[in-house]
Amino acid sequence: MKSLSSLMIVGLLLAATPVFAETVTVEPGQSLQEAADKLNPGDTLLLAEGTYYQSFNLTKSGTTGKPITIKAKAPGKVIITGAMKTTPKFEKVEGAIYKTKWVPAKKWSGRGTSQLWVVADDRNLYNYTSMEEMKTCRSGKNATPLEGFFYQDGEMYVRLLGSADPNKAKVAISRPDTTVLLDIQGQQHIVLEGLRFHVAPAAAVRLAGRNHPHAICKHIVIRDCSFFGFHQGVAGVAIRQGKKEFGPTDVTIEHCQFSNYPTYQWMRNGELQSTKTWRLMYGSNLGGNAIGPGGGSVSRWKIRHCYIHDCFDGIGVASTGVKDPTLNNEYSYNLLQNNADDAIEFDTMVYAGVHAHHNVILDGLCLLGLSPVQKGGVTIENNIVYVSPEYGLPWCVLFKFSTPGGSAWTSGGFRPLTGMTIRNNTLINTKCGVSWGASPDAKPHYFKDNTVANNIIYARDWVSWQGLPWDLGLQMQKNNLCSGPTLVSGTDAPKEVLSTRNTVPFLSEDTHWWDVMAPTLPELFDEGELGEAKEINRVNF
């Protein structure tokens, strides 16, 4: 018979035995939700190669040093999709329009943004607002994309380029009950690795809170993942308690790819037709962010080594709300290419706390959106920003300094754009101007306490509002170089700033974008007008 003392010793030994982390492997067809519900700190959920037609929530958190990890067994070969497993058959209605049955899980409302998504042959489709718009590809006087979808009364209509039969295309339609693929609501210490997210009407990964400042997402790492077909790729959602706002913090997104091809091509096609395509795209399913940190109280977001292309906005608004360098958000070593609106959007009426450095930004509408920055905290340095003659939009600017409307000056009225540092950048626009949005009505107090130093700035147009608004208070150091065929020293740039005027610094004549566009959208032009098709290099995992 064992003594009490010996039993106590055995009990103490058992209590001291460490709990080992487990690796739980799932395969397509097995439930991701059931597996996720069983995870404990330090565990890994390993997804076998294949496609998972599922969405799921995380209900458990990791701890410091023991994160919960969800990763692909074969990186890049695991797809989590919001699409239906099988595509329903389509029947022809008239002309290029086909229809199929699609019944939402809840009553339909609005234009379909964040509720329905369609991909055809690896192209994200635009959502039309009416059957008339679908038939004509026009909304009023403005052109819309030549392919898209429209939902009405249990019927989902599709129009593809070249009047193609969707039964012969590779079509993916979102499931009626799926809007978010992976919902992380207040969980912490989570790692996602090597996954591909596909077809997400609202968001691929949502980082949200649960109505308490201590129940916000923290210490989230997303690496080596790709995102295709989403209103938002990674969406941060802040929670409010009284007048305070709390948002996701300590979020790292690295070595990831985001794309909503061909959003940028539709924007460019609209500009070439001299139509106001921007507003239509902005209000559509395609008018979202690749990464949306979530607004006024997010901190320590590190977005680095990512490839963000062919989306509407690249990186959306993020701000710490308070001046504390330890909370700063950092965007570095990214390639942002062909984004139809802002490549990086710095807009904020509270303190920003954003440092963007060593990025390459290629082509877009407004490549750096500072519209407005009213309480400072933005540093943009050591970046290359380039609008190419081949792929650049006919109208685009390096800087957007304000939105053209009263909404920019709410919450206390107009405050000057302040506390911005723009230095050591090379900024080239071979198609149009430097900036837009600054209002002469605010002269001379539109800008206050900003620094523009050690930049090389070339723009094809420096006329009127397309130059740098130094006369409205934007401070420029002497060691900037300003250049362009229309630049007039002392008018378009301060007399003391080094400036040069060269009539043809880059090209002798315009290059039509359809001659060199990569990749090419079929049916936009006659075959004889198209140059050789070129594929964009994709990220390999």
pLDDT given at position 19: 58
pLDDT digits (tens, 9 = 90+) for 447-474: 889 999 999 999 988 886 788 888 888 8
Dihedral sign for Cα 161, 309, 208, 246, please: negative
User: Residue-wise over 173-211: b if at least 16 C-beta within 10 A, else e?
Assistant: bbbeebbbbbbbbbbbbbbbbbbbbbbbbbbbbbbbbee
What is the structure's pLDDT at 215? 75
The pLDDT of residue 111 is 66
pLDDT value of residue 536: 42
C-alpha count within 13 angstroms, C-beta hemisphere, residue 532: 3
Distance CA 433, CA 273 (A): 20
Rounded distance between C-alpha atoms, residue 34 and residue 30, angstroms: 9
Determine if the peptide bond prior to 519 is cis (ω within 30°).
Answer: yes
Q: What is the pLDDT of residue 284?
A: 93
Residue in the block written with tokens 């010996």 = 6
Contact yes or no for 248/221 (Cβ under 8 A): no
Summarize pLDDT for 429-444 with one digit per residue, the tens. Answer: 999 999 987 766 666 6
For the chain, which ranges sit under pLDDT 70?
1-19, 109-112, 211-214, 403-414, 439-444, 464, 500-541
What does the pLDDT look like over 49-107, one tens digit per residue? 999 999 999 999 999 999 999 999 999 999 999 999 998 999 999 999 999 999 888 77
Count CB atoms within 10 A of the CB of residue 480. Answer: 24
Euclidean distance between CA atoms 188 and 248, whole angstroms:
10
| pLDDT for the residue 467 | 83
- Please tell me what DSSP assigns to residue 235: E
* pLDDT for the residue 519: 47
Query: What pLDDT shows up at residue 389?
Result: 87
pTM for this entry: 0.89
